[in-house]
Homo-oligomer: A and B are copies of this chain.
Amino acid sequence: MCSLPNESFSIELQQLDADDVSGRNQRTQWLLNSPAPPSFCNELINSVTETVLPQKKNNFSSNSKQYGGGAVLSFLQGLFPILGWGRNYKANMFKHDLLAGLTLASLCIPQSIGYANLANLAPQYGLYTSVVPPLIYAVMGSSRELAIGPVAVVSLLLSAMITEIVDPAVDPIAYTSLVFTVTFFAGTFQAAFGLLRLGFLVDFLSHAAIVGFMGGAAIVIGLQQLKGLIGINHFTTKTDVVSVLKAVFTSFHNETLSPLNFVLGCSFLIFILATRFIGKRNKKLFWLPAIAPLLSVILSTLMVYLTKADRHGVKIVKHFKGGLNPSSVHQLQFNGAHLGEVAKIGLICALVALTEAIAVGRSFASMKGYHLDGNKEMVAMGFMNIVGSLSSCYTATGSFSRTAVNFSAGCETVVSNIVMAITVFISLELLTKLLYYTPLAILASVILSALPGLIDINEAYHIWKVDKMDFLVCIGAFFGVLFVSVEIGLLVAVSISFARIILDTIRASTEVQGRLPGTTDTFCDITQYPGATTTSGILIIRINSGSLCFANATSIRERMLKLVTEANDSEENTKDNVHFLVLDVSNVMNLDTSGIAVLEELHRELVSRTIQLAIGNPRLRVINKMKTAKCFEKLGKGWIFLTIGDAIDACLSLKIADPSSINC
């Protein structure tokens, strides 16, 4: 590179150069004259507005065109989607919804009683929760498949956390009041998140965290069912594996357990699992696994009633209050000593419930090709739980298993939820007296049969293969739930997830770039594309980080100096040392004062090694910050380029024009 070209070639080159230079200068001008940043106040206001205010234009534009209504109708349609699709609802859609709703109800009734039992509540509260919340969701929600009602994980959360404040065995009335208060808080938080457009909060429980958490929760829920399945009287209020197994072994030694409970529970569990196997083999029999739990409840109740097995040790439901949901307004407690604790439980339940519902809702919406607005869903869920808490319901949300049943039963709209709610309401009026003799072991087996769907080993293996850090989040949540408690499991998962983001920033790397063969202006990592060629004397380094900040600036500078030293060492024989360092900052979206300081330090250190620093392709935010910090003046305004190609051209032309300046 050091032999000077002959004269004629040199003139030609100069002409070519002239075009090049003008284009390059123009591009640099574009770069330096890029739009000024908004003032701090404007930026702050925009940021708040963007987060808090609903983006009316985008949400409702298509609706308002379709129905030609005014702003009020638009607003109402936004709040109550039923006003939109209700007009187009047809009779043959109702046929499908009716079938789906009835199937759903037959699965929902035994599950609701079982989950109420899991939440340490009287069985009717589970059924109440399957009446009011689905009706509210039907007018406010926008998912067409979501089956609303009590779910296993939220029931577990409630029982695990509220039991620490009040023991339901000692004071069931105070416990029930606390459950309603928690539900009220959960609903308020959900509605507030939706109204404040904080939908992104749900994303903090990552996919991997949910997989691990659900797996752990399923095992914990399963272990809780041992109480009903074996017929234990004295059980632990803790949820971790060690405590539960200890309680089970203690019972085996100290209590006289009737084997009838176990035999009854296991035989119906096998029956339910067998129908599911048949349903999977023959898609037309999808209704069989859906009604099997109800069938089991009816059959076992009849068996117990006829054989009077309850006198021989089979534990039964006994207390069951029928009729319409009573009001629970007077039961809400806002002046207790535990208000802070209750609000915290409400927040955790709100987030977990939303995460489950939105994950389920979105995956089915994406199958049917429509889009679910997380913020609107939050408002709907919030109102449904607030109204629920006033009418003796505990925290409801969208259920994994029942939504899948609803989908395969061919539901068309959320009307299937209305059908289900009415069916459950009718059974509350008419059938509760019959449920007196339902054995607890059957409820346990109904819950147990729903658990395998929550444990997704294939997905855990997939996560392990693709991303080891995600797997750490997954097993962190899993073991946290299993061996400590439900909240700790969630906390571990969220902490690891965020620690990973910080770690990614701290461990930012740098990469040497080379020109891709056959291209003029495409530069790539030489480790990724071994065919990329480097230009001797010029080192192109890209910063592989979205942010050049206090956490990584020093290490990035040290890596760059190391790369320069290595390049010089390897080129020592040819006496063609590095004279130009082109720094590709196209990946850097943001830099702070530490980042700017490090760039200036790097420039000083390179000057002391007679190396010129050129900066290529800074982004708008980076340019604006460097301008404010008067960084261009220090680095040399002429050494900022829009593309790496421009930077290389400038380096090469300087090298040819004045080879002495680069002591070559």
User: Interface on A for B, CB 8 Å cutoff?
Assistant: 23, 26-27, 30-31, 34-35, 40, 58, 61, 200, 203-209, 362, 366, 369, 371, 374, 462-463, 465-470, 497-498, 500-502, 504-506, 508, 516, 518-522, 524-525, 527-531, 544-547, 549-555, 561-562, 565-566, 569, 586-587, 589-590, 592-594, 596-597, 601, 604-605, 608, 619-620, 625, 628-629, 642-643, 645
Contact = CB atoms under 8 A, between A and B. Distances in A.
Given A203-B551, A546-B504, A604-B366, A593 B525 contact: no
9 contacts: A58-B565, A203-B553, A369-B608, A371-B605, A466-B593, A498-B551, A525-B620, A528-B620, A544-B619
A550 B204 contact: yes
Contact of A502 (B468, B501, B555, B625): B501
Contacts of A544: 546, 589, 619
Given A525-B619, A527-B35, A601-B366, A594 B30 contact: no
Contacts of A605: 366, 369, 371
A468 to B, nearest CB: 6
A61 B569 contact: yes
B468 A40 contact: yes
Given A26-B518, A209-B550, A544-B589, 15 more contacts: A58-B565, A58-B566, A61-B569, A206-B551, A206-B592, A208-B594, A369-B604, A466-B596, A470-B592, A502-B502, A504-B589, A525-B619, A544-B619, A546-B547, A546-B589
A124 to B, nearest CB: 38
A566 B592 CA distance: 33
Nearest to A55: B562
Contacts of A590: 504
Contacts of A23: 518
Contacts of A569: 61
Nearest to A465: B628
Closest 5 pairs between A and B when the two form their complex, measured CB to CB: A546-B546, A206-B550, A369-B608, A528-B620, A207-B594
Contacts of A587: 546, 586-587, 589
Give the number of copies in the complex. Answer: 2
B562 A58 contact: yes
Contact of A593 (B467, B519, B550, B593): B467
Given A35-B527, A605-B366, A593 B470 contact: yes
A516 to B, nearest CB: 7
Chain B CB within 10 A, most for which of A546, A589, A593, A605? A593
Contact of A466 (B550, B554, B628): B628
A203 B554 contact: yes
Contacts of A628: 465-466
A639 to B, nearest CB: 19
Nearest to A463: B593
A205 B209 CA distance: 30
B462 A549 contact: no
A626 to B, nearest CB: 9
B531 A629 contact: no
A508 B590 CA distance: 11
A662 to B, nearest CB: 19
B206 A549 contact: yes
Given A200-B506, A200-B555, A528-B619, A501 B208 contact: no
A520 B605 CA distance: 36
Contacts of A561: 371
A138 B469 CA distance: 43
Contacts of A531: 30
Given A200-B555, A596-B466, A604-B366, A35 B530 contact: yes
A521 B520 CA distance: 9
A513 to B, nearest CB: 12
Contacts of A463: 593
Contacts of A203: 550-555, 594
Nearest to A367: B604
B593 A554 contact: no
Contacts of A549: 206, 500-501
Given A619-B528, A628-B466, A551 B34 contact: no
Contacts of A208: 550, 592-594
Contacts of A35: 527-528, 530
Given A200-B554, A562-B58, A629 B466 contact: yes
A362 B554 CA distance: 11
Contacts of A645: 522
Contacts of A547: 501, 504, 546
A561 B500 CA distance: 27
Given A58-B565, A546-B546, A608-B369, A642 B593 contact: no
A208 B596 CA distance: 12
A371 to B, nearest CB: 7
A547 to B, nearest CB: 6
A522 B643 contact: yes
A593 B462 contact: yes
Nearest to A211: B593
A590 to B, nearest CB: 6
B516 A642 contact: yes
Contacts of A530: 35
Contacts of A40: 468
Contacts of A508: 546, 589
A341 B574 CA distance: 59
Contacts of A643: 519, 522
Contacts of A619: 525, 528, 544
Chain B CB within 10 A, most for which of A207, A497, A551, A592? A592
Contacts of A518: 23, 26-27
B551 A501 contact: yes
A464 to B, nearest CB: 9
B597 A207 contact: yes
